Amino acid sequence: MTAAVEAASSAVPSLGAAAPDFELANQYGEPVKLSSFRGQNVALVFYPFAFSGICTGELCEIRDNLQTFDDSNAVVLAVSVDSKFSLRAYAAQEGYGFDLLADFWPHGDVARAYGVFDAGSGMAKRATFIIDGEGIIRYSVVNPRGQARDFNEYRSALADLKRA
């Protein structure tokens, strides 16, 4: 872990701050780098584990409403500490048409950079960051364990980006 990532690992980045860059493998083992999406908005969705109830419900809601993201020139990147192998099976089972990124090793490094790694349980917290086309965080939410995110908040945050 770099010194910059280490320093940022204890706090959630502030609104208006540059989003920490990263590169992770998606469910197919392909590298996905956040900064490669400059010029496009990004919904960075951290979730605890593949195949779990609340996570599946949330990601299926995103899957079923991908047009909301497309209409806002936004790509969805969903991140968990699962391996790319688990994520591939999960994506196939649920029909996800967006990247599932494996923050598997070093375990939780990206979640740490965003201040959303729960070291006690070894998982990412349920958190979302909406990042604009210049790499700036414009919206964030971290939900308590066991509480699903409200999809209407995505709609609102993406609409705010369109007005900006």
Dump pLDDT digits (tens) for 71-119: 999 999 999 999 999 999 999 999 999 999 999 999 999 999 999 999 9
For tokens 């995103």, the residue is 62
How many other C-beta atoms lie within 10 A of the C-beta of residue 116? 24
Dump pLDDT digits (tens) for 29-83: 999 999 999 999 999 999 999 999 999 999 999 999 999 999 999 999 999 999 9
Contact 45, 153 (CB under 8 A): no
The whole-angstrom separation of Cα 126 and Cα 129 is 11
Which residues form the catalytic set? 55
| pLDDT given at position 10 | 66
Catalogue all structural domains in the chain, each as residue range(s) with its CATH number.
3-12+21-163 (3.40.30.10)
